[in-house]
Amino acid sequence: GAVVSQHPSRVICKSGTSVKIECRSLDFQATTMFWYRQFPKQSLMLMATSNEGSKATYEQGVEKDKFLINHASLTLSTLTVTSAHPEDSSFYICSARDGRREGGTEAFFGQGTRLTVV
Amino acid sequence: DQQVKQNSPSLSVQEGRISILNCDYTNSMFDYFLWYKKYPAEGPTFLISISSIKDKNEDGRFTVFLNKSAKHLSLHIVPSQPGDSAVYFCAASTGGFKTIFGAGTRLFVKA
């Protein structure tokens, strides 16, 4: 299947600092990228959807000024957690799909990023 | 409002037997359904999918059944293997766009 690379896999940061997470599609063009957050023993919660070259669409309850999403190219999207606080500690996962591809509409996931804010 | 529900948080099955994971949804606009498998600290990996125009899709040991009238789908794994032990997420989307996930079911396959 298609490959999506997410970096870093783990990050520990101090409260009040910002952290950037990158998501790259390595062998296909990602017209759409999704960012999810997963709390322990819970499902993947969709945070936002971004289409290449346009502003991200955030889900209800997700602060767009806190979770900045950039999808400037067809192979790269970034999520920046600004002024991180301990409650932002979580597992963040990106997924990407090529909406122009015929057939299945499955998205491919990155490996996830474990963020710990201390 | 949970649009995709997996009511069983866990399931334990003997190796070689059939595993049946269930999923219910509420949004009749969903037209594409997917199952993902997830190991701890990793991203989900796509397993199998089904379009709303079908009622069954089979891929090797994995078969997904869709009952639109009941808004229910299920994943059958047969025969189950210890390596199948993981968390399985049911997901649904409209037009292949925004994908909503269920809470997941942890499958334990005992040797």
Could you report the per-residue pLDDT of B14-66, keeping only the tens digit for each? 999 999 999 999 999 998 899 999 888 788 888 999 999 999 999 999 999 99
Across the interface, whether the CB atoms of A43 and B89 are under 8 A apart is answered yes
Higher pLDDT, B79 or B32: B79
Over the stretch A1-22, which tens digit does the pLDDT of each residue have?
668 899 999 999 999 999 999 9
With 80 as the cut, is the pLDDT of residue A113 above it? yes
With 90 as the cut, is the pLDDT of residue A103 above it? no
Q: Looking up tokens 């963020």, which residue turns up?
A: A115
What pLDDT, on a 0 to 100 scale, did the predictor assign at position B43?
81
What pLDDT, on a 0 to 100 scale, did the predictor assign at position A1?
60
Higher pLDDT, B42 or A104: B42
Q: What confidence tier does A63 reach under pLDDT thresholds 50, 70, 90?
A: very high
What number of C-beta contacts closer than 8 Å exist between A and B? 57
What pLDDT, on a 0 to 100 scale, did the predictor assign at position A43?
77
DSSP label at A111?
A: -
| B36 close to A (CB below 8 A) | yes
Q: What confidence tier does B77 reach under pLDDT thresholds 50, 70, 90?
A: very high
Q: Cα separation of A11 and A20, whole Å?
A: 10
Q: What is the dihedral of CA A30, B1, B10, B80, to 10 degrees?
A: -50
What pLDDT, on a 0 to 100 scale, did the predictor assign at position B1?
62
DSSP label at A37?
A: E
Residue A62, Cβ density class (10 Å: 0-12 exposed, 13-18 middle, ≥19 buried):
middle
Percentage with pLDDT > 90 across chain A? 53
- The encoded tokens of residue A91 equal 């597992």
Over the stretch A23-56, which tens digit does the pLDDT of each residue have?
999 888 888 889 999 877 677 888 998 888 788 9
With 70 as the cut, is the pLDDT of residue A99 above it? no
Across the interface, whether the CB atoms of A93 and B41 are under 8 A apart is answered no
Residue A51, Cβ density class (10 Å: 0-12 exposed, 13-18 middle, ≥19 buried):
middle
Taking contacts as CB-CB distances below 8 angstroms, the residues of chain A near B93 are: 105
Across the interface, whether the CB atoms of A43 and B104 are under 8 A apart is answered yes
> B82 in helix, strand or coil?
helix
Mean pLDDT in chain B? Answer: 92
Q: What confidence tier does A101 reach under pLDDT thresholds 50, 70, 90?
A: low
Q: Cα separation of B107 and B101, whole Å?
A: 17
Please, how many CA atoms are within 13 Å of residue B62, restricted to the half-sphere of its CB? 15
Contact present, A96 and A33 (Cβ < 8 Å): yes
What pLDDT, on a 0 to 100 scale, did the predictor assign at position B47?
92
